[in-house]
Amino acid sequence: MTGIADGRVVIVTGAGRGLGRAHALALAAEGARVVVNDLGVGLDGGPGNGDPADRVVAEIRAAGGEAVAHGGDIATSAGAASLVATALEAFGRLDTLVNNAGFLRDRMLVNLDEDDWDAVLRVHLKGHFLPLRHAAAYWRAEAKAGLVPCARVVNTSSGAGLSGSVGQGNYSAAKAGILVLTLVAAAELKRYGVQVNAIAPAARTRMTERTFAETMAAPASGFDAMAPGNVSPLVVWLGSAASAGVTGRVFEAEGGRITVMEGWRRGPSADGGARRTAAEAGETALKLLAQAETPGAVYGAQ
């Protein structure tokens, strides 16, 4: 198999189903050797059925590609370290990390308990940080040894991280944190030949069944805009050498649409040159708000 990712060694976390599976298959089809990570847990992080990572590896191998499975918990330092070690032991190197693992525990804020908050922050945000930290340590060592990497990281945020989502305070906070982690990592790791970007995908997966209930069904014919595989070409490109020079960026991807997100930028501003009273601060704030753009709606808001 040859293509845009020919010869690259790629890790994809949460690759047993949905978007992760689609990314792993697409990367392998473009010539990458893939480490398929998945714990095989249920939608809420509880016990699941079977071993989806092995099934995806079998799919890749049946199509003529190369892949190995990893079933460790990447939200632990030991699991993340063994993930990188698996790539090095199986294929001798690591070129690209696609952070994708996650699950949901949706509750309105007044019903969201501490365990549900901690579990979702752990798998999404910590589950991005630890693989990134261990991969970055490998690439830094390579760079210091004079072997300048052509390394890539693709993180997975969400529209919930960009705009918020009613009933998903824990998930939205985690996905927003991933965006800022992406910016920091891109700035810190550039010197080692590492590019770090993020996507905010929308597609048909078991995590989005309730969010996109009205648009989930695949059409009888024609273009299926909600198919997970629609997101994967952008991930493949960002994870390849062809994306040289692109780092610290966030892309929305849904169906046939790709959007570059521009993030927080300074809007209207006023400097009075001295401390204001509370009333003066409020008057200034209202004047600035009248000049500012109206923010986008939170998903699910009435």
Per residue in 162-215, pLDDT (tens digit) is 999 998 999 999 999 999 999 999 999 999 999 999 999 998 865 555 544 444
The C-alpha atoms of residue 150 and residue 192 are separated, in whole angstroms, by 9
Examine the residue annotation and report whether 171 is marked as an active-site residue of this protein: yes
Choosing from 82, 157, 158, 240, which is the catalytic residue? 158
Total tally of structural domains belonging to the chain = 2
Examine the residue annotation and report whether 158 is marked as an active-site residue of this protein: yes
Q: Identify the bridge partners of residue 200 per DSSP, sorted by sequence position.
A: 252
Choosing from 82, 175, 232, 243, which is the catalytic residue? 175
Three-class SS state of 281: helix
Contact in structure between 179 and 161 (CB atoms under 8 Å)? yes
Closest residue by Cα to residue 217 from 230, 204, 232: 204
**pLDDT at residue number 203:** 84
**pLDDT at residue number 213:** 46
pLDDT, tens digit (0-9, with 9 covering 90-100), for 42-73:
555 455 566 999 999 999 999 999 999 999 99
Choosing from 82, 126, 171, 243, which is the catalytic residue? 171
**pLDDT at residue number 8:** 98
Same domain membership, residue 70 and residue 174? yes
Same domain membership, residue 289 and residue 228? no
pLDDT, tens digit (0-9, with 9 covering 90-100), for 142-157:
999 999 899 999 999 9
**pLDDT at residue number 45:** 46
Residue 279 has pLDDT above 70, yes or no: yes
The C-alpha atoms of residue 181 and residue 127 are separated, in whole angstroms, by 12
* Mean pLDDT across the chain: 91
Q: Do the domain assignments include residue 36?
A: yes
The C-alpha atoms of residue 197 and residue 179 are separated, in whole angstroms, by 9
Residue 132 has pLDDT above 70, yes or no: yes
Q: Looking at residue 175, which CATH number applies to its domain?
A: 3.40.50.720
Q: Do the domain assignments include residue 2?
A: no
